[in-house]
Amino acid sequence: MTHPRGRRLRRLAAIGAVAIAAALLTAPVSGAAQAAEGNTIPGVDEIVSSPNLKQVAHRDKIGPFANSTNSDWAFQGKYAFSGNYNGFTVYDISNPKAPYEATQVVCPGSQNDVSVSGNLLFLGTDSQRTDDSCTSSGSTTEKPGARWEGIKIFDIRDPLNPQYLKSVKTDCGSHTQTLVPGKRGDPNVYLYISSYNLSTVDLPNCALPHDKISIIQVPKRNPQAAKVVATPVVFPDGGYGGDGEEKSATTGCHDITVYAEKDIAAGACMGDGVLFDISKRTAPKVITTVRDTVNFSFWHSATFNNAGTKVVFTDELGGGGLATCNERFGPKLGADAVYDIVGKRKLVFRSYFKIPRTNADTENCVAHNGSLIPVPGRDIMVQAWYQGGISVWDFTDSRRPKEIAYWERGPISLTEEIGGGSWSAYWYNGYIYSNDIAKGIDVLDLRDPRTNIAKLFRTDEFNAQTQDNYFRW
């Protein structure tokens, strides 16, 4: 059956999913993911993994993107849209074991986060450019009002020939973006634009205090009319003030994940974790906030479980450039934090999770982008850890999360610090797709009795920050 809006989910015909799920979830498991054996640091570019997670494909970055940073993913049908600081690549993944570059669109501007919805692709720019074209250059001399950053909108009715339609300028640009489906009968989709100013002074086009998000309304039938319709201040009290050192102050949000069916969103807002009510799409309201001034330094991203009763927040200690997966930082710094949503939608801390392997001190490694794996009755997600690789972990028991699979590529260098590793690792239609900052893309096959049921589920469209109910037929 086709989902009425958002990510459209369908079941393979004649599959008794509930019965199969029950059988698989009670099947014997031959040991854990053997993560404890991962304390031996692999050699340069050496690939190591647990027995249940294997690489089935790799593609190097090519052409104008060969020496530029890969970023986030979005998926639609047989295509994967890979963000890159120089634009985006459209991969044909009709055969996940043999993906190939269908086309590349050169359009510079970090981070170039991507989202897709129907015939539209949204590309986020968080670096000041001379103008909104795809031939612009980095701007350092233009007057502040003339500098551009924000969202670019492309028509992808023909994914092999995307057409640039429209730009929307936003304050502070668009570090990340979240696609928000409209409610029933609403002819629009919305983008929640997260951006921030960590400086102590006003920046061009980003005056302090920047305690707001920008909301773009996009008429699905007339995307040329897209515009900013609201800039709600979500931290009227200024949020967390930081400690002047490692603990970041709150100034806007870094990333927001929505669960539209439940009218809630989770915001990772640098110094605060936030739960929003988004029943009115253009006026999100803060329900509750949480802080961790002991172990969290930079609230980076958020993931709901499928039931919408838990949130996993990540801490990007060091901004993605620090080696935190070692004995110096231990198991609680640069980690995930699992929160239950209890009572009148309050966030209650339950545990931390961090990959249990020691990385080299030259490897940037910290919690980063991931997504749920659709397993009925379980809370399991896959997650990128930069050069720490890719981890599959189970947080069904909020107090005792555990890793069940891992895959990693050895350090880029054992003698000097070079940034790289998996930026985003997401589950899409039976496989894990990793966008590696430096190396290109990797496709992984997870084969485990605890997760095999997930291979039966299909979605026509996937944006990691736009969650939906996997099991609503």
Task: Kindly state the DSSP code that residue 334 receives in the 8-state scheme.
Answer: T
In tens, the pLDDT along 103-128 reads 999 999 999 999 999 999 999 999 99
| pLDDT tens track for 441-465 | 999 999 999 999 999 999 999 999 9
pLDDT of 285 above 50: yes
> Each residue of 215-228: pLDDT tens digit?
999 999 999 999 99
Least confident stretch, 21-25, 162-166, 362-366: 21-25
Q: pLDDT grade, residue 16 (50/70/90)?
A: very low
| Exposed / middle / buried, residue 248 (Cβ in 10 Å: 0-12, 13-18, 19+) | buried
Whole-angstrom distance, CA of residue 1 vs CA of residue 10: 5
% of the chain beyond a pLDDT of 90: 87
CA atoms within 13 A on the CB side of 34: 11
pLDDT of residue 281: 98
Residue-wise pLDDT for 392-407, tens only, equals 999 999 999 999 999 9
Topology (CATH level 3) of domain 9-467 = Methylamine Dehydrogenase; Chain H (2.130.10)
Across residues 32-51, what is the average pLDDT? 76
Backbone angles phi, psi at 336, to 5 degrees: -90, 155
Say whether pLDDT at 28 is over 70: no
The stretch 410-415 carries a mean pLDDT of 97
Residues 6+ apart with CB under 8 A from 335: 295, 314, 315, 352, 353, 354, 367
Question: Average of pLDDT values for 325-335?
Answer: 97
- Residue extents of the structural domains in the chain: 9-467
- Is residue 169 over pLDDT 90? yes
pLDDT, position 144: 83
Beta strands in 253-326 (DSSP E): 255-259, 264-269, 272-277, 285-290, 299-304, 310-315
